[in-house]
Structure 1
Amino acid sequence: MWLASIMFPWQFLTFLLALSADMCKAKECADFVDLELAHAIIGTTLKIRLLLFTRDTIHCGSFLSHVNFSADPHFNLSRPTTFVIHGYRPTGSPPVWAHQITELLLARKDMNVILVDWNHGAANVNYFKAVENTHQAGENLTGFLKLMKEHGASLSDIHMIGVSLGAHISGFVGANFNGAIGRITALDPAGPQFTGTPPEDRLDPTDAQFVDALHTDIDAFGYRGALGHIDFYANGGTDQPGCPKTIFSGTAYFKCDHQRSVYLYCESLNLTCTSRAFPCSSFKDFQDGKCTSCEQFGDAGCPVLGYDIDKWKHVLLKLGQSKNYFVTNEKAPFCMVNYKLDVVVWNEEDHWGYITVKLHGNGTDAVAKIDHRATQFKKFTETKLFAQFDTDLQAVTKMSLMFSTGNVFKPKYKLRVLRIRLTHLERYDRPLCRYDLVLEESKEVSFAPLPCQESNF
């Protein structure tokens, strides 16, 4: 090394250290600011950082300048751009799902993904101050999008994914552009301080060309009413399966339901399975099997939660606001499989009870417990039940049924089944039937189902 021969040893060492520092600085990967609870207690002032990720920089994003786009050669305005905006951060920690959703988005499409880090401003034990900061955050992002537009970006190619408070920030930005941005996705949009407010003070369907919302915690941190062209309610939008039921579970008790919206959306991105939802006036009617038809959506069928819902965009824009319900498993894969179960009995007296259905095929079992309420079984009257199975079986070779009443001290009943019919609601499989069964209470009966004889089913 010729440079070493003309420098003193200490000068050469200083040069190497400076060079090393410059190299490390050049390779610095963008990441969320990691604050502590102490910051939230003191209170933080709004500061927004933009973290850019592309397919070329998926594992090492860069900090994007608010004013100088040319400083980052990876920011290509001819590509679509998706903004991901987190919500309230009461402890100051970064969102644990940020990099997961980034990688999944980039796997689906060649785009710019910009993680909006407003942890400074969202981290505050005073929730009302964080809510106040959402308006300023919206103005900041509005200025950035204006600059993007001036440099040739199309507002129609902008997709904003907002979580909790981030959903309303997205709405404020969209309103500033008179709804010209392409799409806003709201993941359990925040309810406190937004419920009961006029549309200009929260997200609403006019804020983008298309607005879709997912609700998972409407009885606590989420917004109860409809906010988009289509609103999905997972498990009715309240208690999510697998989430803690008591405060003794720690912080997970408070955030699990709210955060489940992000994980359900991530599952829609990786295509491991799809959650189809059904338009209905209430979750009760949905559970009672009163909303198993999706004729209003035409050949597209029932809408699918998540990233691909824009395939239903044109139909939804004609229909107006649509509330849709679905149920999930306790953990990933969350999606369940929907069947309609029709039962006709010939007992002289009415019986009330619950049905558990098991499907068997190729060494795999699928279970559906229809137990949200006791069902009335009346002689020669078709009882329609909605059955959601935890696994999708492509071929059913055996079926099991169990009738129960939950009455421990009363005599055991027998449900005399004239006919059962099981219809897959997502495939065009021929319905499966069985005739003339006797179900003794709390005893499982197994049989091979048969293709239904009725020509009109």
Structure 2
Amino acid sequence: MAWKWIKAFVYLSLCVTSAAGDEELSQTKCADFNNTTWMEYRQATKLQVQYLLLTRKNADCASLFTQDCLNHTQKHTAYFNSSRPTKVIVHGYRALGSKPSWVSGLAQALLREGDVNVLVVDWVYGASFAYNLVVENYKEVAVQISVLINQLTKYGSTLESFHFIGVSLGAHVCGFVGTLFEGKLGRITGLDPAGPMFKRADPYDRLDSSDALFVEAIHTDSDYFGISIPVGHVDFFLNGGMDQAGCARSRFASMYGYVICDHMRALHVYMSALNGTCPLIGFPCSSYEEFLAGKCITCQGPFNGTCPQIGLLKNSGITVSPLPNQEKVYLLTTATAPYCAHHILVELRVSRLDKTAEVQLTLISTGHPQTELKLKLNTDETGYKKVAAHPERLCNIDSVQLKNTGARFYRQGDIHFEYICISEVPYTRGLDPLCVKNINIGRGVPWSHDFVQVC
């Protein structure tokens, strides 16, 4: 650990200054990400990191924080308020050296939700080119950020007031900043923390629940660019943490659709949670398969009945103490913004079959995409459960349809359902299950039932 604190000591001799005061800000252009050329970057003697500040007073025009050895007087931008919480945004790997286009949207969402300071860490030119070389830079970036945080605490900010939000590799940068401050930062949110070169890393070298008072992570691409293991107090695995609804599966799709759509979905869902009106809650479960099988439809156990929620609620809404550690929670989302899905539990009981059968169940809400479930019915089972994502609440489901599908010559001819029940999870008082009993379905004869209800 000595090398880090030696570097930190050196950096602490640097001064944090703003680009301009009140009068100067009105005459200068807004700060933006570094536009250093590739050749200038390769010739630089040290890693380039700069900080952009946005508040409600300058929401449309960022000001610049810099570390300036030549100016030993401390000047803070007129917009920074140390009595307010500070959100620190850290981007990840930038293969082509381009600035991240999503930063403004995330900053604006944070400012709408609260009167806060938003600090954006620009390390684009240390985050570009070969990924393995970029990974070598991430601790250096964290050390430089820690210098800034240390200086701000001298001017009234508290470590607990800092909420770091890191995307991909940026999540591990945040984690190492937390390590340097011995886990005393208020909160870290990792948006699909990077997996390559980190999946087998020591917790000291990656994001971990010990890095802040509360650490959460959203996983959307754990089979490729994201990390597959839990790294926080609570880890949200969206749609199992891998293939996301609406992301292309074909190599002939666009580069974004095929390569990074899943990975970036964590960011877009998080932004949507800040902007949206419906909750994105997760259910604790031992596996995604058990969650889909309807075996984890409450938040009892580790959360004492309160489901953790993506967004800015304190500790994601978790009220238990001590906080759980590396608790996996699962939730389903829709294919498009705002991504909010209502979790519908479908329960079927079937009379014993002579042959296996396949059925398709469709939930219909007028004006919204249909939700289709395909179920395989076995000869040795009679009861089935399945959790599905639907864009509307239970009371806005207009009808349910069933169809006997499968191979024409080998499927079960007639199927008798003792009942079909659909309910919303977690259970909401007043939204009792919708049940239909005694249903017969023949080959090629779809069945449907309309519901008449008011939310």
Distance 1:32 1:316, change over 3 A: farther
Give 1:233's aligned residue.
Answer: 237
Give 1:13's aligned residue.
Answer: none
Q: Which moved more, 1:195-204 or 1:281-290?
A: 281-290
1:136 to 136, 140, 148: 140
| CA deviations over 1:309-348 (Å, ceiling 9, x no partner) | 6243442744332101112222112121111111112244
Q: How does 1:239-318 map to 2 (within 5 A)?
A: 239-252=243-256, 253-296=258-301, 301-308=306-313, 310-315=315-320, 317-318=322-323
Q: How far apart are the structure 2 equivalents of 1:176 and 1:343?
A: 53
Contact 1:230/1:316 (8 A) holds in 2: no
Q: How far apart are the structure 2 equivalents of 1:66 and 1:308?
A: 33
Question: Structure 1 residue 55 and structure 2 residue 56: aligned?
Answer: yes
Give 1:370's aligned residue.
Answer: 373
Give 1:183's aligned residue.
Answer: 187
Distance 1:331 1:154, change over 3 A: same
Q: How far apart are the structure 2 equivalents of 1:171 and 1:382?
A: 45
Note the C-alpha offset of 1:416. 0.7
Give 1:5's aligned residue.
Answer: none
Contact 1:210/1:313 (8 A) holds in 2: no
Contact 2:309/2:316 (8 A) holds in 1: no
Letter in 2 for 1:216: T
SS at match of 2:56: coil
Q: How far apart are the structure 1 equivalents of 2:227 and 2:349?
A: 40
Distance 1:316 1:84, change over 3 A: farther
Q: Which moved more, 1:398-407 or 1:87-96?
A: 398-407
Q: How far apart are the structure 2 equivalents of 1:258 and 1:35?
A: 27
Q: Which moved more, 1:144-153 or 1:436-445?
A: 436-445
Give 2:391's aligned residue.
Answer: 390
Contact 1:433/1:449 (8 A) holds in 2: no
Give 2:14's aligned residue.
Answer: none
Give 1:17's aligned residue.
Answer: none
Note the C-alpha offset of 1:127. 0.7
Note the C-alpha offset of 1:446. 1.8
2:432 to 421, 430, 433: 430
Distance 1:399 1:301, change over 3 A: farther
Give 1:323's aligned residue.
Answer: 328
Q: Which moved more, 1:253-262 or 1:86-95?
A: 253-262
Contact 1:364/1:393 (8 A) holds in 2: no
Note the C-alpha offset of 1:412. 5.6
Distance 1:412 1:401, change over 3 A: same
SS at match of 1:217: coil
2:337 to 324, 332, 341: 332
1:444 to 436, 439, 446: 446
Q: TM-score with structure 2 length normalisation?
A: 0.86
Aligned length: 423
Note the C-alpha offset of 1:298. 5.9
SS at match of 2:360: strand
In structure 1, stretches of 5+ residues that fail to align are 1-21, 452-457
Q: How far apart are the structure 2 equivalents of 1:41 and 1:325?
A: 42
Distance 1:445 1:89, change over 3 A: same
Contact 2:403/2:447 (8 A) holds in 1: no
Note the C-alpha offset of 1:81. 0.3
Q: TM-score with structure 1 length normalisation?
A: 0.85
Letter in 2 for 1:419: Y
Distance 1:162 1:317, change over 3 A: farther
Letter in 1 for 2:447: V
2:79 to 53, 74, 80: 74
Q: How far apart are the structure 2 equivalents of 1:339 and 1:433?
A: 13
Structure (1/2) with the larger helix percentage? 1
Contact 1:345/1:377 (8 A) holds in 2: no
Contact 2:207/2:231 (8 A) holds in 1: yes
Distance 1:292 1:200, change over 3 A: same
Give 1:64's aligned residue.
Answer: 65
Give 2:419's aligned residue.
Answer: 419
Q: How far apart are the structure 2 equivalents of 1:24 and 1:112?
A: 17
Q: Which moved more, 1:322-331 or 1:62-71?
A: 62-71
1:103 to 104, 108, 117: 108
Distance 1:84 1:354, change over 3 A: farther
Contact 1:229/1:317 (8 A) holds in 2: no
Contact 1:40/1:91 (8 A) holds in 2: no
SS at match of 2:140: helix
Note the C-alpha offset of 1:247. 3.1
| CA deviations over 1:115-144 (Å, ceiling 9, x no partner) | 1000020011x1111101101001001111
Letter in 2 for 1:131: V
Q: How far apart are the structure 2 equivalents of 1:96 and 1:33?
A: 13
Give 1:200's aligned residue.
Answer: 204
Q: How far apart are the structure 2 equivalents of 1:257 and 1:41?
A: 30
